[in-house]
Structure 1
Amino acid sequence: MKLAICDDNKNQLHSIAQMLERYVTPEGEKVRYDLYGNALDLVSNLSSGRYDALLMDILMPGLNGIEAARDIRQINEDIPILFLTSSPEFAVDSYRVHAFDYLMKPVDEAELFKGLNRIFAIKKELVSHMLTIQNAKELHVISLSQLEYVEINNRTLLFHLIDGETKALRGKLSDYEENLLSQPNFLKIHRSYVINMDHMKSLNKNSFETMTGKEIPISRNLLTEVHTQYVNYLHSAIRQ
């Protein structure tokens, strides 16, 4: 996990850096971090995916923390921002820019570590819902919620997304089956197809129709099992 810490007070910046040197993630890993003395430098160096979270002072000369957060949200809507403040009066403003949380100064190490543990847990949960596909020349990260179905055709894997886009690369379906089928909404219905049941419009006798209108065949040997699992999935979804 990599963090950015922004505070115009050098003593505060140094103090937080020392705390981070003592922090390890719930999986026992050290964090990396960059230090910034003003918000403008942070915003200028921010790129999507470079940092996993931001720790940022609110009261800073020039561009303050709230103003910087508004700019950051134009670049990255999801990155957790943990505000550091000497007054609770900024709590409302911090939530308007979708802050993850805020800590009162002087920052308590135990509270800081709790906040970082929560961020780590959320990040880990998000990663578990992403699929990384790659070969020697390409790498794509796909949200599983956006994946309609996967098929293998002449040694080419086709990842069909709900927006109509298809990611294609050479490979084997077995390379991704374990990851896909660990999710409760994915089901293998044929040696060449794994579907996301969330995006199926209907189940016919021998096939599924997707929300985008495509027909996907069900293996004759799997018909009974697939029908049973799909019905169970629908019942489970209704109960939730």
Structure 2
Amino acid sequence: MDNYRIAVCDDSKEHVEIIYNMINLIKEKHNLNLILYTFTSSKELVAHHERQNFDIIFLDMEMPEQNGIETGLIIRSFSTDTKIIYVTAHSGYAYESYMVKVEDYLLKPIDYSKLEQNILLCCDSLKKKKDRKFLDIKDVSRNFQRIFIDNIICLERHRDRKIHIKCIYKKTIIVNETISNLEKHLADYKNIVKANQSVLINLNNVRKITKNIITFCDDSTVKISEGRLAIVKKEFHNTL
């Protein structure tokens, strides 16, 4: 059974508890494997999301230190797959929430059937996305990271002998691994190829190859070794 990490964030402990208890009832009713987290601070939510990567977030729109729109935009800057559902006492945030690309609104007081419908729809959508390729790994701080492979630009061994996994949205995850182990782990993903002994690249995020220089979608570059040049160019042209 798939696990889904759900976060509930509201500056009111009472509202957090109400939603938390409802989700637990839905969890038992539908035999869902839901792992629940609660927050009363939007900044704390963001900090934990960077480490935990929540699947679904129920986010209060009116928060004192950082409102729901500001928080949603921060989350979207490094997480496109997380399902965000706003919880609010007002319904006048349509344009702002469009920018965050939220799933839905839940108006207070929370309607149980509406909450149930949202959770079931989100879990169904997430289950379908599980079929896409992810790299599950722990970073140097021992935090679990689930990386959507299409978001990876390259995996590069640095002088510190650690692997720096550079992703779109300007995010880099550092892990204690080897290029050879990661190459084996990603062997089924045909667009991940070796550029040289220290770098694996994602051809999906290559913008161009000029001579022996790869330019990625973020304008960063790496060199292709002489022995890999013909192979990498051939594979790149196969993706066009």
Shared fold by TM > 0.5?
Answer: yes
Structure 1 residue 123 displacement after superposition: 8.2
- Counterpart amino acid of residue 72 in structure 1: T
CA RMSD of aligned residues (A): 4.9
Structure 1 residue 69 displacement after superposition: 0.8
Structure 1 residue 176 displacement after superposition: 0.8
- Counterpart amino acid of residue 172 in structure 1: T
1:155-188 CA distance string (max 9 Å, x none) = 9355475899998876432221134444342113
1:83-98 map, 5 Å:
83-84=86-87, 89-90=91-92, 92-93=94-95, 95-96=97-98, 98=100
Work out which of the two has the higher radius of gyration on C-alpha atoms and give 1 or 2: 1
**Does the Cα contact within 8 Å between 2:11 and 2:41 map onto a contact in 1?**
no
Structure 1 residue 14 displacement after superposition: 5.2
1:113 matches 2:112: no
Q: What is the aligned counterpart of 1:202 among 197, 209, 222? A: 209
Where structure 2 has 5 or more consecutive residues not aligned to the other structure, the ranges are none
Query: Which residue in 2 is equivalent to 1:48?
Result: 47
1:132-147 map, 5 Å:
132=137, 134=139, 145=151, 147=153
SS in 2 for 1:219: helix
Structure 1 residue 30 displacement after superposition: 2.6
- Provide closer, same or farther for how the CA distance between residues 150 and 73 of structure 1 changes in structure 2, counting only shifts above 3 A: same
Number of equivalent positions: 214
- Counterpart amino acid of residue 181 in structure 2: D
Structure 2 CA distance for aligned equivalents of residues 168 and 57 of structure 1 = 32
1:1-240 map, 5 Å:
1-6=5-10, 10=14, 16-24=19-27, 29-34=33-38, 41-43=40-42, 45-50=44-49, 52=54, 53-56=56-59, 63=62, 68-73=67-72, 76-77=75-76, 78=79, 80-84=83-87, 89-90=91-92, 92-93=94-95, 95-96=97-98, 98=100, 99-103=102-106, 105-108=110-113, 109-117=115-123, 120-121=126-127, 128=133, 132=137, 134=139, 145=151, 147-148=153-154, 150=156, 156=161, 159=164, 161=166, 171-188=177-194, 193-197=199-203, 198-199=205-206, 201-202=208-209, 204=211, 208-211=212-215, 212=220, 214-219=222-227, 223=230, 226-234=232-240
1:109-151 CA distance string (max 9 Å, x none) = 541322441674598589x55674646x787967754533535
Where structure 1 has 5 or more consecutive residues not aligned to the other structure, the ranges are 36-40, 235-240
- Provide closer, same or farther for how the CA distance between residues 184 and 5 of structure 1 changes in structure 2, counting only shifts above 3 A: same
- Counterpart amino acid of residue 68 in structure 1: N
- Provide closer, same or farther for how the CA distance between residues 165 and 6 of structure 1 changes in structure 2, counting only shifts above 3 A: closer
Query: Which residue in 2 is equivalent to 1:237?
Result: none
- Counterpart amino acid of residue 92 in structure 1: A
Structure 1 CA distance for aligned equivalents of residues 69 and 111 of structure 2 = 25
Structure 1 residue 13 displacement after superposition: 5.5
Identity %: 14
